[in-house]
Structures are given as structure tokens and as C-alpha cells.
Amino acid sequence: MSSYEARFKVWRGDVQGGGLEDFEVEVNDGEVVLDIIHRLQATQAPDLAVRWNCKAGKCGSCSAEINGRPRLLCMTRMSVFTREETITVTPLRAFPVVRDLVTNVGFNYDKARQVPAFVPPADLGPGEYRMMQEDVDRSQEFRKCIECFLCQDTCHVVRDHEENKPAFAGPRFLMRVAELDMHPLDAASETGLDRKQTAQDEHGLGYCNITKCCTEVCPEGIKITDNALIPLKERAVDRKYDPLVWLGSKIMRRST
Amino acid sequence: MATGTEPHLNSGGVRTGTRAAISAPHLRTDRWWLAPAATAAGLLAFIVYSTWRAFANADYYAAPYVSPFYSPCLAENCEPMRAGPNWDLFGSWWGVSPAIIILIFPLGFRLTCYYYRKAYYRGFWMSPPACAVAEPHKKYSGETRFPLILQNIHRYFFYAAIPVAGILTYDTVLAFRGGTDENYEWGHMGLGTLVFLVNIVLIWAYTLSCHSCRHIVGGKLKHFSKHPVRYKAWQWIGKLNARHMLLAWASLVSVALADFYVYLVASGVFDDPRFF
């Protein structure tokens, strides 16, 4: 096993202010950035704050920015960096900082609450749901989300424009709207809730300019833009900008 | 998770008061600028070339090849093309290049295309230039207002792109004609025919891989299991759609090359090598 001393710059501070602090720290074969942050805690900075849980890329807790790119600390191998480069680790830059590498991601929970939940079909009771696999494939891709909020962090709509936060749900929660709108048993439309229309009117779908950063950073490899956001935009077009489709759906009186 | 640090609603972006105090607009160390710069250069090259060719109004027909920029040719001032796509809809009052009439449709299709939107939003408008690289704009309303709300008409351009691709297919079939002026017959082939064949395959692949096409064919359905044929079509289009960016560039290059080939032959730079 070989080891070397790596140079790190880690952001330390809180909402009052802070800055990048230099460290030299031992790195061993097979380690990930979170291992190095833990070593810093153990040897040099015992009060360094970092949020983490599973160390397996499944809990979505250790989201941060490494060399300026939103990534999971536990899924970023040290071997992707050269031994000479200085590795910069900062908290997510789209959310208010709490301390060191920990941010307040409450924005995302607020947005989650604003998406109306799955509406159970009136004529089916618990245990009576039957769905074909091909009907749930699309929604299941979106269910792989680990709520790391890297997509929310990298989306320039809110990252670069704080004032857009009230109007824009962000890619993660527009994907949630898409998931429910594609769900074969969601009965929202029977209750008068048109998810296609609310995506545009209440969750800010129009702010998305499909530059695909959410897809680029997703650690689960979900094709957020191609499979959720663009199909949702097309569904909104059906409702709001395509009179022929709207008329057709009224005449046919059916949900396809 | 709330800690009482509520965000201040200003447009400081990553420098907003409650966020980590980092003055640099980004901390990326890779060559993040390469992709938007290459995209902008590629698109700019095509814009310059196509503008020159569209306004040139010359050297767009060399029997049996018709430049895709001038097909169908809808004005009286079009060059007569043997069994070609002459369709004098606009009459004699149209004085400038007839390419302008038809190019509006493929231009609109590509301008509102979901891939090209990403390309020029990043490459030209820097909104954002790259992921996690701060954009220079103070305000951002995305596609919620005029003029960008018009991006929602993409599907209408998709509808228009289908007949245009159909006519270009006809032009490709015409490329199998040849022989002498007296015996202008089928069953011939030249290098230009190959160029046209490659171009039309890429044009169709790009057109059918469109996100709007994917939606119309089956994506809009809630129950694939009730529509097995549309489900199969959606899956097939989905496979093409995964390569939409590649097809967008390949077809952009191929359509320019097909036009350039016609230009070279029509302007007498070289004779089309005939295979048979």
C-alpha cells in the first residue's frame, strides 16, 4: 500500500464569514475524499463540521463541492486527482452555510412539501393496486434519487439567483412532479389537480433552460433532464401551448 | 433541518450573504471552458457558412444534385431543376434568395431544439457557461417570458421538419439520376449520391430523435401497457434520443457538406465522380 501527503484547502467558517484553510494530510490507496476529511478531523481539526452517514453513496448526506464541482464526498476517489494538485473542498454554494462543510438544505424540504402527494385511486383499496412494469419503469428511475440535492445545488436558476428560490422548485422536485404525473395510478386529475399545469404555474418549470447540469452531477445517473424535465415541459406544452392536443383531450375525454 | 438562517432574497448568487463566504465565482480547476467554447465556435462557423450560402442565390443546382439549403425552391427566381423540387408558390415578387423561405423551418426546428438550446444557452449566453460556474447575468427568468417562452413551439417546427425531410429524401432519390442531357435517366450514382445518402440518413435520425417526437409518439401516455405499438415506438425513439446531441452535430455538418459539395460541382471547381 502506498501513501502520500496531499494538499487540501477546506472551507471553514459559518454564516458570519470564513475562508479556505490549508492542510497537508496523509492519503492511502483506495481512499475517498470523505476518508481524508475524517482524517483531518482525527488529526488536525477535531471541530471540522461535516455531514455524513452511510459512506456508500446511498444516504445523500455528504454532498459538497470538490474542486468547484458538486459531488458526494464518499463517492469521490482520491485516485481521480493527481498527487501534485491541491484539492479544494467547500460546502454546497447554493444554500446557506451552517458551519464548515455543513449547509442548511431546508429549502429542499420546503419545496418537497409544496408538491401534492400521490392521489390514491378512489376505486382501489390497499393491496388492490396492480401495475404493469412498463407503466412504472419511468417513475422507478426517478425513485433512485437519494436526496443529495447536488442537482438543486448546481442548478444555476437558484444557485446564481437567490431571488428565484420562491418561484422555482428545482430539478429534484420537478422530477417528483414528473414521477407522479407518469404514475399509472395517480388520480390527481380526477380531483381537479392538473400536475402538468401546476408544474409550469406553481413549480416554475419555465425557469429551467435545460442546460443539463442536474443530469451531469447526479450520483445515481438519473437522466433528469431528458427523462423528467423535458417530458414535463412537453406535457405542459400539451396543456398550455398546443390547442389541438387540449381540444383532442377534451373530445376524447380520457386519460391516456 | 432548519437552523434559522433564512436566505436573503438578493441576486448575489453564490456570493449571497448567508452562503459560504467565497469570493471566487467558481473553484473549478478543469478545462470547463473548452466545451462551451468549442460549441460556440462550431455553431458560429455554421452560421457564417449558411448565411453566405443562403444569401448567395447561386451555385445550388448541379444536375442531379439540389442543395438542401434551396430545397424545395418556392419562388419564380429559382433555377429550373429537372424533375427537381421547384414549386413556385411565391411567384415573381420574391426578389431575394429563395433559400430564405424554406430555411426558416429547419432553422426554427434547430433553434428551439432542446439540445441546441442547451448548446447556445451555455456557449453564447453563458447561462450558465458550465456547471457550477457562475453566470454573469444579474437577473434570470429562463423560458417564462417573451421571447424565450416561444421555445414552447418546438413541436410545431418538428411537424414542419417532417415534410422538409421528406423533400430532401426526394432530392436524394433524384441523386440516382444521371447520364447525358438527352438520356437523363435513373440507375446512376456518383460521389454526390453518397454524400446525399449520408446526409438524409442523419437528417431523419436527428428529426426522429427529437424530444417532441419522443413525447408525441408515446411519452405523453400514462399507460404504456395499453398502447404496445406506441410503447415500442417510444422505446425506439428513446434509443435515438439518447444520441440527440451527436445526431444534431452530425446532421448539421452533413447538411453543410452536402450543400458545399453541390456548390463545388455547380461552380465548376470539379466534376462529380460518377460510379455508374
> What is the residue-level pLDDT of chain A in tens, covering all 256 positions?
689 999 999 999 999 999 999 999 999 999 999 999 999 999 999 999 999 999 999 999 999 999 999 999 999 999 999 999 999 999 999 999 999 999 999 999 999 999 999 999 999 998 999 999 999 999 999 999 999 999 999 999 999 999 999 999 999 999 999 999 999 999 999 999 999 999 999 999 999 999 999 999 999 999 999 999 999 999 999 988 877 776 777 776 555 5
CB-nearest to A208 from B18, B142, B219 is B142
Q: What is the pLDDT of residue A253?
A: 55
For the record, the C-alpha cell of A243 comes out as 390547442
Alpha-carbon gap, residue A10 to B274, rounded angstroms: 67
Same domain, A70 and A116: no
* CB < 8 Å to A256, chain B: 220-223, 226-227
Domain ends where: A72, A103, A134?
Answer: A103
Same domain, A174 and A224: yes
Same domain, A127 and A13: no
Same domain, A134 and A224: yes
| Closest chain A residue to B219, measured at CA | A231
Same domain, A81 and A196: no
Q: What are phi and psi of A72, to 5 degrees?
A: -85, 130
Alpha-carbon gap, residue B234 to B213, rounded angstroms: 9
Same domain, A121 and A172: yes
Same domain, A170 and A238: yes
For the record, the C-alpha cell of A240 comes out as 398550455
- In this structure, the strands spanning A69-72 and B65-66 are unpaired
Q: What are phi and psi of A8, to 5 degrees?
A: -125, 145
Cβ <8 Å between A231 and B212: no
Q: Testing the interface with B: which of A234, A240, A249 to mutate, by most B Cβ within 10 A?
A: A234
Same domain, A88 and A214: no
* CB < 8 Å to B120, chain A: none
> What's the ipTM?
0.92
Same domain, A141 and A53: no
Cβ <8 Å between A109 and B1: yes
Cβ <8 Å between B140 and A157: yes
CB-nearest to B20 from A97, A162, A181 is A97
Domain ends where: A49, A69, A103?
Answer: A103
Same domain, A170 and A66: no
Alpha-carbon gap, residue A198 to A239, rounded angstroms: 10
Q: pTM for the complete prediction? A: 0.93
Number of structural domains in chain A = 2
User: How many residues are recorded in chain B?
Assistant: 276
Same domain, A113 and A233: yes
Domain ends where: A79, A103, A127?
Answer: A103
Query: Is A82 in the B-facing interface, judged by CB distances under 8 Å?
Result: no
Same domain, A78 and A175: no
Q: Is the peptide bond before B64 cis (omega within 30 degrees of 0)?
A: yes
For residue A53, the enclosing domain spans: 3-103
CATH number at residue A33: 3.10.20.30
For the record, the C-alpha cell of A60 comes out as 445523500
